[in-house]
């Protein structure tokens, strides 16, 4: 989480924690958008299909 805080430029860990959600679909979607942004590509127009995690 500390690495993520540095990547997004938050000054405090509490700020980063406010944006974290345990939803795998959202994490995957945002990760894909961030990867596209960092590689200079546009984010994909369609979102990946929802991932189901069995507990």
Q: Length of the chain in residues, anyone? A: 55
Return all residues near 21 (Cβ < 8 A) that are at least 6 apart.
Answer: 27
Decide which of 28 and 54 is more confident.
28
Q: Per residue in 10-41, pLDDT tens?
A: 899 888 888 876 678 888 888 888 888 888 76
Whether residue 2 contacts residue 11, with contact meaning beta carbons closer than 8 Å, is answered with: no
pLDDT at position 37: 81
**pTM tops 0.75, yes or no:** no
Is residue 9 pLDDT above 80, yes or no?
A: yes
Strands of the chain (E only): list them.
Answer: none
Q: Supply φ then ψ for residue 49, to 5 degrees.
A: -65, 155
């Amino acid at each position: 989480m500390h690495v993520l805080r540095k990547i997004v430029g938050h000054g405090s860990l509490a700020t980063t924690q406010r944006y974290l959600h345990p939803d795998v679909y959202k994490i995957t979607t945002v990760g894909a958008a961030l990867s596209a942004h960092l590689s200079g590509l546009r984010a994909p127009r369609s979102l990946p299909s929802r991932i189901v995690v069995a507990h």
